[in-house]
Amino acid sequence: MKLYSTNNHSLRAAFQTAVFNSMPADKGLYMPSFISELDTEFIQNIERFTLSQIAFKVASVLLQDAIPSEDLQSIIDDAINFEAPVVKLEENIYVLELFHGPSLAFKDFGARFMSRVMAYFLKENEKMLDVLVATSGDTGGAVALGFLGIINTRVTILYPKGKVSNIQELQLCTNGQNIRAIEVDGTFDDCQALVKLAFADEQLNEKLRLTSANSINIARLIPQTFYYFNAYAQLKRQGIEDIVFSVPSGNFGNIAAGLLAFKMGLPVKQFLAATNVNDTVPRYLETGVYEAKPSVQTYANAMDVGAPSNWVRIMDMFKGDLMAIKHLITSYSFTDEETLAGMNQIYDQYQYIACPHTAIAYLALQHYRKQANSTDSGVFLSTAHACKFLDVFPENIKSVIEIPEQVKRLMDQPKIATSLNNNYQAFRSYLLEG
Ligand SMILES: *Cc1c(COP(=O)(O)O)cnc(C)c1O
């Protein structure tokens, strides 16, 4: 497999390089230099295959010879050891549940696959890999649990003090082993700035082998294509083939993966990009003017992104053709008020509990069906378990949200985090003192 930079198509990097660097030096993003389609025979018979088989097929076509088949299959089976079921709510309305992994969010797909790919490429006796990650909540948990116990790696997670949910904090601070949490007296942006300073610090990079685990890494994107194909397989078993996918979007990695699946031959009628009031993309599709903005805090805080980093990948896949993008992607944004109303509505109508992000995808689907007078089957993606966002729910729903066993177990564990001021020298010394 060869990858290019979205800024420079003549650059060619191997998969291994792209995984450890995360980003090309020209600050573009890595994309496969050629996207092959799956054979039509496979897609026509996809309902006969399991998630593991589908994932292997899709990954083999994308990665080509980057990882030998046997190793690739074991990486996939170790990483994706949970289900991604499609649940029917009513005729033509389905929810794709992506929260059955260890951190209870869809980011487990990306983080677990990436950690295992990195471990695979780490040669014996090589310098320990120092993974740095700033999180507003969900990324940190997925990365922590993804790398937990992976030899020759050490993960340092920075999170903003008092700004992550209780369960998110437990997932960050109860791991021990090779996972360390730093509670920063500041915002998520401050955490991210500290990590960026560390990557730009030449002296530090001579001493430590730093790598980033953020969502722009191509090894996080690839496994997210698996569940789109697998959702299609589940619906095809029920005789349904015309599908609209509604994707709650922040950094636009999830929907970029869906579009990559589409480019690989997945039949999809329409993608809906559903956002909160951080509406850079819906505004762009409406006006043709791309204008990133500082992020605004919302109930769906994992989507509080004003400058979605994966958008350049989507532009790249469509060669910058705005008309082609608009033909395939419809985008909607919703306020907190609407989000809360959506959460209530899903509960009242279906007794289904959707986290705020998931509710936004549901609302987009509803709007689209009305607007386009569409009778196609709609699948909205559920990106996190509701218990991660308890505080957003009204009392009547909150009181019936079940806390999964794996979270209950964390509740008895001591939280261990190092407190740091928003100060680079302090962070730097922490890293060097090990
Ligand atoms: C990260 C996240 C999103 C946004 O996904 P992107 O790939 O950044 O668009 C949506 N919902 C939840 C729960 C998340 O954690």
User: What percentage of the chain carries pLDDT values higher than 90?
Assistant: 88
> What are 272's strand-pairing partners?
246, 330
Kindly report, residue by residue over 338-396, the tens digit of the pLDDT.
Answer: 999 999 999 999 999 999 999 999 999 999 999 998 889 999 999 999 999 999 999 99
Confidence band for 136, pLDDT divided at 50, 70 and 90? confident
Residue 163 confidence (pLDDT)? 87
For 235-242, what is the mean pLDDT? Answer: 94
> Which letter does DSSP use for residue 46 in this model?
G
CATH number for position 377: 3.40.50.1100
Kindly report, residue by residue over 8-17, the tens digit of the pLDDT.
Answer: 999 999 999 9
Choose among 326, 325, 395, 335: nearest CA to 360: 335
CA gap 178, 175 in Å, rounded? 8
Q: What distance in angstroms lies between residue 256's CA and the mean position of ligand 1's atoms? A: 12
Is residue 227, in this structure, part of any structural domain at all? yes
Is residue 131, in this structure, part of any structural domain at all? no
> Which letter does DSSP use for residue 386 in this model?
G
Q: Which of 103, 104, 107, 360 to mutate to test the pocket of ligand 1 (most atoms within 8 A of CB)?
A: 107
At residue 169's C-alpha, the angle toward residues 164 and 173, to 5°, is 145
Q: Provide the whole-model pTM.
A: 0.96
Is residue 324, in this structure, part of any structural domain at all? yes
Is residue 314, in this structure, part of any structural domain at all? yes
Ligand 1: list residues with CB < 6 Å: 105, 107, 138, 215, 248-254, 302-303, 357, 383-384
Is residue 174, in this structure, part of any structural domain at all? no
Looking at 161-220, which runs of residues are DSSP E strands? 179-185, 209-212
* Unique residue bearing structure tokens 């060869």: 2
Domain that holds residue 232: 84-103+221-398
CA gap 339, 45 in Å, rounded? 38
**CA distances to 19, 101, 154, 404, 416 from 413, in Å:** 33, 20, 21, 16, 9
Is residue 111, in this structure, part of any structural domain at all? no
Question: What residue owns the CA closest to ligand 1's atom 8?
Answer: 251
**CA distances to 46, 232, 328, 374 from 236, in Å:** 8, 6, 21, 19
Is residue 365, in this structure, part of any structural domain at all? yes
Kindly report, residue by residue over 184-214, the tens digit of the pLDDT.
Answer: 999 888 998 899 899 889 999 999 999 988 8
Q: Do 280 and 292 form a contact (C-beta atoms < 8 A)? A: yes
Q: Give the total number of structural domains in the chain.
A: 1
Ligand 1 atom nearest the C-alpha of 388 is 13
Q: Do 16 and 121 form a contact (C-beta atoms < 8 A)? A: yes
Is residue 354, in this structure, part of any structural domain at all? yes
Q: What distance in angstroms lies between residue 209's CA and the mean position of ligand 1's atoms? A: 28
Whether 276 has a pLDDT exceeding 90, the answer reads yes
